[in-house]
Amino acid sequence: MRASGKLLAMGAALVAAAAIRRAFTLPQRALPDPAPAPDVSQTTLARMTRPSVDAHPGLSGVYLLADGPEAFATRMSLARQAEKTLDLQYYIWRGDRTGTMLLEEVLDAADRGVRVRLLLDDNGIDGLDQVLFALDRHPRVEVRLFNPFPVRWPKVLGYVFDFPRLNRRMHNKSFTVDGQATVIGGRNIGDEYFGVADGPLFADLDVLAIGPVVDEVATQFEAYWNAASSFPARLLLRRVGPRNLRRLRKRSSIVERDPTARRYLKAVRDLEIVRQLAEARLPMEWAKVSLLHDDPGKALGYLKRAEGSDARLSGLLENAIGTPKRELAIIAGYFVPGKRGVANLRALRARGVEVSILTNAYEATDVGAVHAGYAPYRRQLLRAGIRLFEMCDGARQAPSRRERRKGSRLGVSGRLRGSGSGSASALRAGASTLHAKTFAVDRQRLFVGSFNFDPRSIDLNTEMGIVIESPLLAGLVADAFDDVVPENAYEVALSEHRGLIWKRPDLSAPLRREPGMGLRDRLAIGILKRLDIEWLL
């Protein structure tokens, strides 16, 4: 009996193990036959943009979107302009006010006959499974999930059984309409990115672009859409009926009746950019623009750092921007340079290159672990002569009188200046967390994208962004470190005793303790600093 009992127990354990393995195994990936690509050459958007594009051969038109409501309005306006195709690619899409309103625009576009393709990283769609499955049932909509979790709830279990794969995410962000216009940059889809959240708001930066770079974005989208990590949503999501589409429309109507959402929508409708887009008179900077992106195979661990610059964005960036000769200005919400990054920045400084960095102060960050990865490198950067700024919690600091005066002076050309200041200009709206990822080189080239200056962006996540060869825009970002940034951020420096101090124009004396950090915070960050987690950040 004992032997038979052991055999039964062993058999039960094997059966349970096999069941668990099946539960955490991805379904067989079956893709539908691709339909012919729609002809987008005669759409209204094509006719609107063609004269300007033809007048600037080889160049792309770009307009920087630093203001959250303006960034949302641009997406809504473009979605309403769509006649043939709508290709959307995002790391996070929330089911909140702005996320719901944009999903309804997507559904309306499909109802008009627009082919909609929605590619979402599966880590950033909490609570949307039923809505996305219902959308996928629409004959003009196809939803695919990148690097999906086989078990839908709780998703965290997937990390237990398949951590090496699921720890790699698609961080790319693009919104492309009729193959004629695209929005790319740092923003995900959610209230905090568009200035409507009840909690912290993100200072962020996107680029609206037309011209040749749109074709490059479309090619990038196709590569990810057909990548081995992209799975049709219907293979993974729980089947639901068409009533969920009706619920989406009902949910949107509820959102629009919400007082906060109603005020936000009115402000969006009043924005000049909506009319400028509709009337094809948006002032754009025309420049040579290049798209850089990781090969989607990076999400499967196929690409290693040593494999060269043709498949990884970090290597492509080094080739595209060259070696800074005079000036490097970095704005990064998540800045974890690591030993290699610090060595590179110190080498630049040793050659006489002026280096300025803006990242989040502890009181402004939304990820404490990232601060623990960044903080140990501050003294090394400062000793090398690098200027280091940490963004204040915007909810605690109102714009200065000088900033209000400066903002009121901005005209049409100033719109470029306000946007050019990038995430720093967004502080005027009371943003509390820096989320933008941009840097300017020698006042000649500007990078805007999803790439964070951290090990995760370099080695784990897939990323994308553009290099804009524009002295105007690059110079404006560099200039922000002389005017906008010092008035909205702490300047970190070394005291006479080589300790850290935090300075700000409105403070009577420098702070000698880290702003916003209490005893429990210091203990938690101290523990995280001692753990080997930098490679995860």
- Give the 3-state secondary structure of residue 357: strand
442: CB partners within 8 A, 6+ apart: 324, 325, 326, 327, 328, 474
Of 298, 371, 406, 437, the catalytic one is 437
Please give the Cα distance from 365 to 372 (Å, whole number). 11
29 touches 175 (CB < 8 A): no
Handedness of CA 460, 463, 469, 475 (dihedral sign): negative
The catalytic position among 129, 206, 393, 442 is: 442
Prior bond of 510 cis (ω within 30°): no
Q: Which of 84, 293, 371, 435 is catalytic?
A: 435
| Set 96, 121, 129, 178: catalytic member | 178
SS (H, E, C) 389-450: EEECCCCCCCCCHHHHHHHHCCCHHHHHHHHHCCHHHHHHHCCCEECCEEEEECCCEEEEEC
Question: Can 532 be counted among the known catalytic residues?
Answer: no
Number of H helices, E strands in the chain: 21, 19
Number of alpha carbons in the 13 Å side-chain half-sphere of residue 8: 5
Residues 331, 333: Cα–Cα separation, whole Å: 7
CB 207 within 8 A of CB 63: yes
DSSP at 459: I
Structure token digits, residue 131 = 């809505």
442 labelled catalytic:
yes
Cα 165 to Cα 163: distance, rounded to the nearest angstrom: 5
DSSP, collapsed to helix, strand or coil, labels residue 143 as: strand
For residues 186 and 206, is the Cβ–Cβ distance under 8 A?
A: yes
173 catalytic residue (yes or no):
yes
Token code pair at residue 200: 């912290």
Q: Is 96 a catalytic residue?
A: no
Nearest of 85, 79, 104, 94 to residue 245 by alpha carbon: 104
One of 173, 293, 298, 406 is an active-site residue; which one? Answer: 173
Catalytic residue among 171, 293, 298, 371: 171
Strands 354-360 and 327-332: parallel
Kindly write down the DSSP assignment for every residue of 208-273, as one continuous string: EEESHHHHHHHHHHHHHHTSTTEEEGGGTSPP--THHHHHHHHHHHHHHHSHHHHHHHHHHHT-HH
* Structure tokens, 477: 């970002």
239 class by beta-carbon count within 10 Å (0-12 exposed, 13-18 middle, 19+ buried): exposed
Residues paired with 439 in a beta bridge: 330, 447
Cβ-contact 224, 89 below 8 angstroms: yes
Radius of gyration of the chain (CA): 24
Q: Which residues are known catalytic residues?
A: 171, 173, 178, 435, 437, 442
